[in-house]
Amino acid sequence: LLFICCHPDLPAVQQVAVALRIVCGLSVAQIARAFLVGESAMEQRITRAKARIGQAKVAFETPGPAERAERLAAVAAVVYLIFNEGYSSTGEEADRKAPFAEEAIRLARLLLRLFPAEPEIMGLTALMLLQHARAPARFAPCGELILLADQDRTLWNRALIAEGLALLDKALRHAAPGPYQVQAAIAALHDRAPRAQDTDWREIDALYATLERMTPSPVVTLNRAVAVSKVAGPQAALDMIEPLAKPLGGYFYFYGAKGGFLMQLGRGREAYEAFDRAIALAGTAAEAAHIRLHLDRLAKDAEAGAR
């Protein structure tokens, strides 16, 4: 069904949106969040895609091997967005949405059976396994989000990590690097580090630089800025994300990262403003609660400084 929906007569974004809506059952709001656009804009895209299908009398029939290969990139994108819908859930949503991540991994394994020599599908599957392995440590019993640096790594699923690393090594032997393999390599560096302080941030920065060249995106640059903050300090990271204010103006993680960099620089008032904007954009109670901790800390620091 995913291969059928990812029809080449539709623009790439519409292929993915239609597949997520019709086959996967995601809501328009969920799809819009995945593409960082408003709900009305995404609703219009899906409506246009349906109209185009009807007007062109597109034959939605089971594609053959050659057509499947042509549509593989779009199907892989759908699978990864399904995974992210589950993986990015927090707090009260985590248990309910966990099957999304597990289903995405199942679908990726099916793709591997169809394309056993495709390194990017190996990379995609490895990426999801390496990220999903951390799921048991991502939330406190109360539902509070636990950042990667603070997670109890003994809770990580070592079997999934071993499977992911083996797949990544197999993919890299093909010497045909792609975005999923690069992202999997980043995830592998995190998973291989015994402690947060052992993380090879320089290598992660270099991998994100490679990813920026392959698939330029404000979100990729924002993620790279976190690595840059570890390597070159928070001011360098802040300088890197300043041009992203417009394209990521409605993105929770942009303001969360900006607030964190400003707080490290001791610029409390500006950090408070960034976190205040982040909390307004929080998609879940757990995200809002995490930002509230920073706001409370900054408020206490300001009160202590005024005495």
- Pair 68, 187 in one domain: yes
- Pair 229, 296 in one domain: yes
- Pair 238, 306 in one domain: yes
The answer to whether position 71 is within a domain reads yes
Compare 23 and 158 and report the one with higher pLDDT. 158
CA distance 220 to 244: 11
The answer to whether position 203 is within a domain reads no
**Dihedral angle, C-alpha 160, 166, 171, 175, nearest 10 °:** 140
Last residue of a domain, one of 192, 207, 226: 192
List Cβ<8 Å contacts ≥24 apart for 157-162: 157/132, 157/133, 158/133, 160/129, 160/130, 160/132, 160/133, 161/129, 161/130, 161/133, 161/191
Continuous H helices in the chain: 2-5, 12-18, 28-35, 39-56, 65-87, 94-114, 119-132, 158-172, 179-192, 201-214, 218-232, 234-241, 252-264, 268-281, 285-306
CATH no. for residue 257? 1.25.40.10
Q: How many structural domains compose the chain?
A: 3
Residue 272 has pLDDT above 60, yes or no: yes
The answer to whether position 111 is within a domain reads yes
Last residue of a domain, one of 61, 83, 102: 61
CA distances 61 to 1, 3, 4, 6, 9, Å, are: 9, 9, 6, 11, 13
Contact yes or no for 115/103 (Cβ under 8 A) = no
Residue 165 has pLDDT above 80, yes or no: yes
Section 129-139 average pLDDT: 93
Contact yes or no for 23/79 (Cβ under 8 A) = no
At residue 286, the pLDDT reads: 78
CATH no. for residue 33? 1.10.10
Section 30-36 average pLDDT: 84
- Integer-rounded Cα Rg, in Å, for the chain is 20
Contact yes or no for 138/116 (Cβ under 8 A) = no
- Pair 82, 185 in one domain: yes
Residue 174: CB atoms within 10 A of its CB come to 15
- Pair 30, 19 in one domain: yes
CA distance 265 to 235: 7
Q: Is 233 left (phi over 0), alpha (psi -120 to 50) or beta?
A: left
Section 19-27 average pLDDT: 86
- Pair 40, 108 in one domain: no
- Pair 149, 51 in one domain: no
CA distance 248 to 28: 20
The answer to whether position 131 is within a domain reads yes
**Residue 158 pLDDT grade (very low, low, confident, very high; cuts 50, 70, 90):** very high
* Structural domain containing residue 249: 217-307
CA distance 307 to 296: 17
The answer to whether position 197 is within a domain reads no
- Pair 6, 40 in one domain: yes
Contact yes or no for 218/226 (Cβ under 8 A) = no
- Pair 222, 234 in one domain: yes
Last residue of a domain, one of 42, 61, 80: 61
CA distances 268 to 61, 82, 99, 256, 260, Å, are: 58, 37, 40, 14, 10
- Pair 141, 73 in one domain: yes
- Pair 71, 164 in one domain: yes
At residue 27, the pLDDT reads: 87
**Residue 95 pLDDT grade (very low, low, confident, very high; cuts 50, 70, 90):** low
- Pair 67, 188 in one domain: yes
Residue 180 has pLDDT above 80, yes or no: yes
The answer to whether position 230 is within a domain reads yes
Report the candidate in 260, 255, 267 with the shortest Cα–Cα distance to residue 305: 267
The answer to whether position 5 is within a domain reads yes
Section 227-234 average pLDDT: 97
